[in-house]
Structure 1
């Protein structure tokens, strides 16, 4: 009996310790300040702009209705939106995708074919399974054509996509299963069951394992090395791509929970959308609180150590659940998972 009491006390103590460490790690006690050296204005009419990419003189943004913030009946009514880069007060333009299947976009990437022709790769959360949708876009006419859908049992929880060429791309998976209970177990235990798959010529191959919520992807050197945001691991990992395998190169600790990564070819650096308080993000999504803070970091690689700089931080008063930032030159654009707008922040 005495032994059982000792075991019970030890188990309770271990559980309380884990909960305490989890709360501390989740940013509950971290401070979020206002860092905004810009002149920011809202661009309304774009719900759930979780990811964005440059498309000629435009940004193309996903517009998705992510539960529980949005009602379930809207979940598969998402779209893709064009946002003029050079306009001071841009007016979003929804593209006519011409598809009849459910569309709830998440991550996306753009492949430039020539000055007029682009291909857009999009993660689509369908009702029963995820897919990668490929669209053709002509800049001169703004016409979109759906080309193909890539399915696979391997990509049950797709998050982001990173294109190598027209038939080859990477996909990050944030969990091992769509099952809500399994995902909760992975989230709270920090078990690394997220992964990255390579798609080539109709075949899926797992090239990275054991990531705790694999999220945004970006090229460090196109086709040769890439970055992935391990959101619950609070790290950015660098991998070398070698044929059909990947070799871990380095890891960079992040103050917060990194979401999307966007490479800036002009400045040769990366912008990272970061959630400082992960429980605030969860509670904001569930409508329990009115805001969730946003942090944007700039990551630059030099001959020495990688350098991180906070370029924007907001407690959630101006912009909540910021997930992506992109800097095409004239302004900083910030998207969000659950807001119905993006920010355009002029210098």
Structure 2
């Protein structure tokens, strides 16, 4: 065999071996080779009428002891099909006197005109007034264009939360647009003016997104809005997704869905600067919500490539998982596997929100409902 031909064959064999190895590596990281033991100790009620309930945020605006939940809703399958439908923020009452569908109503009005909500966050109880911050994709999104008009692809919408005659509604106050909002995913306010927001990618094309995801390029980062301008306060994160701030304002948590971890940062309350503290392993974390006891409720995708298949085909289902993270007195993390479903009840779960003793809500990127669950004590 000629030397040149031998070198070509050896090079091709090495390239194939490398590609095969990389493919297996990605399958392992995505959880596709894991055997899942589905389980649940909760009884769940399906709440219809909210398509793509991708994120949830607790509010006490109704004045009832139980409070309520804002639901970020957008029909992303319509966007994928090239026929986007205006999204909405719903209000879901947690009061027992208003169960099921009757408790769901639209809280957002006609503004902004182009509205495709994604991550949401409510100001902490210490804020001077309650506001809802919303990541909006008026023209661009991970799932395709929402509108072809001129203007910013992504914005942050700031709403005042208003309770009148027992009903909750939102009043738009500000729209924030900036070139640094490249691919915003989730938002976490620290008061009525300042907030953090994640950029899950820095690429702006589908090809660029795939290169970042499958090439394991950690280009996601966290922005901080100080009331006047954005600055990058944390970077080098694989697909920076959900974000939340501790009740005392000293810690910020960021989910890395493809990195299979939650990044924990110390926060300087005066400047907003973040300092990396530690990373907590969590499989496929999406959104993060902090409950009253300080624990982190996380909606997760245990099989990321299966989720991708489900995103492309509504007939397929994708496993869904809920984790609850808490810290011991020594500072060690305890991870509780609360709920693991095969996706038959809800697929592509993106958010979990603890709302009371043993009660939690879950939402999905695409499904047309959310689940209201109560854990059963033996």
Select the residue among 142, 159, 169 that pairs with 2:195. 169
Query: After superposition, what is the alpha-carbon deviation per residue over 1:116-140, rounded to whole angstroms, capped at 9, x for unaligned?
Result: 9521100001214111000111123
Select the residue among 6, 9, 12 that pairs with 1:8. 12
As a proportion of its length, which structure holds more strand? 1
Select the residue among 58, 75, 78 that pairs with 1:54. 58
Q: Which stretch has the larger CA shift, 26-35 or 50-59? A: 26-35
Q: Which stretch has the larger CA shift, 217-226 or 148-157? A: 217-226
RMSD: 2.0
Q: 1 CA distance for matches of 2:78 and 2:24?
A: 27
- Kindly tell me the number of residue pairs found equivalent between the two proteins: 344
Select the residue among 83, 101, 104 that pairs with 2:116. 104
**Counterpart in the other structure of 2:150:** none
Query: After superposition, what is the alpha-carbon deviation per residue over 1:11-57, rounded to whole angstroms, capped at 9, x for unaligned?
Result: 22111110111112211121223321111110000111111011111
| TM-score using structure 1 length | 0.94
- Do the aligned partners of 2:128 and 2:192 also contact (CA within 8 Å) in 1? no
Secondary structure of 2:33's match?
A: coil
Select the residue among 304, 307, 310 that pairs with 2:337. 310
2:89 maps to 1:80 = yes
Query: After superposition, what is the alpha-carbon deviation per residue over 1:173-207, rounded to whole angstroms, capped at 9, x for unaligned?
Result: 11002211000101111110111011113211011
Query: After superposition, what is the alpha-carbon deviation per residue over 1:226-256, rounded to whole angstroms, capped at 9, x for unaligned?
Result: 11001100001101123243111000111x2
Larger-gyration structure (1/2): 2
Q: 2 CA distance for matches of 1:108 and 1:346?
A: 24
| TM-score using structure 2 length | 0.86
Distance change >3 Å, CA 70–CA 95, structure 1 → 2: farther
2:45 maps to 1:17 = no
Secondary structure of 1:184's match?
A: helix
- Do the aligned partners of 2:127 and 2:191 also contact (CA within 8 Å) in 1? no
Structure 1 unaligned runs (5+)? none
**Counterpart in the other structure of 1:337:** 365
2:72 maps to 1:33 = no
**Counterpart in the other structure of 1:287:** 313
- Do the aligned partners of 1:110 and 1:118 also contact (CA within 8 Å) in 2? yes
2:321 maps to 1:321 = no
Q: 1 CA distance for matches of 2:186 and 2:352?
A: 15
2:358 maps to 1:346 = no
**Counterpart in the other structure of 1:144:** 170
Secondary structure of 1:74's match?
A: coil
Q: 2 CA distance for matches of 1:164 and 1:116?
A: 11
Alignment map for 1:240-255 (pairs within 5 Å): 240-242=266-268, 243-254=271-282
